[in-house]
Structure 1
Amino acid sequence: MKHSDSHEAFFRGLDRHRMIASIKEPKHIETALALRDRLSGVFLLTGHIGVLKGYVDLFNEHRVPVFLHLEKIGGLSTDYHGLDYLAKVIKPAGIITTKTNVAKNAKKLGLITIQRFFLVDTEGLENIAKSLCQIEPDMIELMPARIPEMIGMVKSFTSLPIITGGLLFERSQAQECLDNGANAVSSSNPELWQRADGMPGTKRIRKVV
């Protein structure tokens, strides 16, 4: 799947499905593929450089946009040359990172960039605002999802699409995040992937140009 095709597929999928599968164990890859019609994409948080291309190729073959959490994958360099290799050889739809400089370089290389932020206290809100002044990723992910009222506070200073995840156990908890303005939720719980259909979301997601 070409970068342009995977970008379009992901944002088109977010208009229909509000669930993203976070894969932390290889055994859940087949489950995500089986439920791909209920997902807008997958976040890969497992593996190492030796198996990574095989995983990504498998998702690309099934036209499932796959994002790599760069801090969770072994042996992968996140300098510019490592990201260039990732974009040209591994070919995911995009990346997830907590690091502003990594997001900046990945975006230059045509990858969809999702920057992850942790909301531990009010200082976390300030860190998001400061980071977005330096580089604007394509989307942001807020962790954990169990503080849905914070989504509205973040939306007050950015128009970027918001994904939220972490500590989700029930479908109702995921729906509460969407009701508070999240564009999608991410979960590592396959039971939530199965029950993802029919969750109403927010307005249409903007596409990356």
Structure 2
Amino acid sequence: MDQIFYDAVGSNPIIAAVKSMEDIEKCCAIEEIQVIFILFGDVCSIDRIVKRVKDAGKVAMVHVDLISGLSPKEISVEYLEEHTEADGIISTKPSLIKKAKELGMYTVLRYFLLDSMAFENIRQQQHMVRPDFIEVLPGVMPRVIKRICGSVKTPIIAGGLITDKEDVMAALSAGAIAVSSTNHQVWKM
């Protein structure tokens, strides 16, 4: 697998997370945005959504858990790989991450940090699943992000509740390699 996703995040650590076609149009118009997390769509529209992102020259990552009509099974990943131009997937389900890796897609394993058990799950599952990136939410917890970065080798993306430059800088300073945000103002930083 080549380095497209890694290079894109390296050139700009802001990832646009989109929830509508209007969001896609706005972030595709921002040249600096290189990676787009697609957080909406259904089985009938996801191919067109991904195509719009790819036509803009961006890396398209589909949050498979949020696509209506797709099941939480490995066949959904196969469908995305065969019927869209998606570069990779985002999921909270380790089995879907493993399947995407088998198919040569980029992977982001998303965790919601609710308690110390979630932190321990990150440490344990990174070795079994081996995602390309781990996304932790909410991303406005620099001390926790620093702790995770110190205990795992997988690059960390901070997402959720990132709303201003201070949030971005705090997450990056804590060791995250990028932040994902639905906030249009953050995309323009």
TM-score by length of 2: 0.94
Q: Which residue of structure 1 aligns with residue 144 of structure 2?
A: 150
Q: Which residue of 1 aligns with 2:5?
A: 10
> Does the 8 A contact of 2:149 with 2:176 survive in 1?
no
In the alignment, which residue of structure 2 is the partner of 1:192?
186
| 2:64/2:77 contact within 8 Å kept | no
Query: Take 2:171 and 2:76, find their aligned partners in 1: how far apart are those partners?
Result: 34
Amino acid of the structure 1 residue aligned with 2:7: R
Equivalence for 1:38: 32
5+ residue gaps, structure 2, are none
RMSD: 1.3
* Contact 2:64/2:76, CA 8 A, preserved across alignment: no
Per-residue CA distance 1:113-142 (angstroms, 9 max, x = gap): 100011112121111112223211111001
Find the counterpart in structure 1 of residue 97 from structure 2. Answer: 103
Q: List gaps (5 residues or longer) in structure 1.
A: 196-209
The alpha-carbon deviation at position 55 of structure 1 amounts to 0.8
1:11-41 deviation digits (Å, cap 9, x = unpaired): 2111210100000122111001101x22230
Q: Point out 4+ residue stretches in structure 1 off by more than 3 angstroms.
A: none
Aligned to 1:140, the other structure's residue is in SS state strand
- What is aligned with 1:172? 166
- 1:72-92 deviation line (CA, Å, top 9, x unaligned): 110123433332221122120
TM-score (norm 1): 0.86
Task: Count how many residue pairs are aligned between Structure 1 and Structure 2.
Answer: 189
Alignment deviations for residues 184-209 of structure 1 (CA, whole Å, 9 cap, x no partner): 000001111112xxxxxxxxxxxxxx
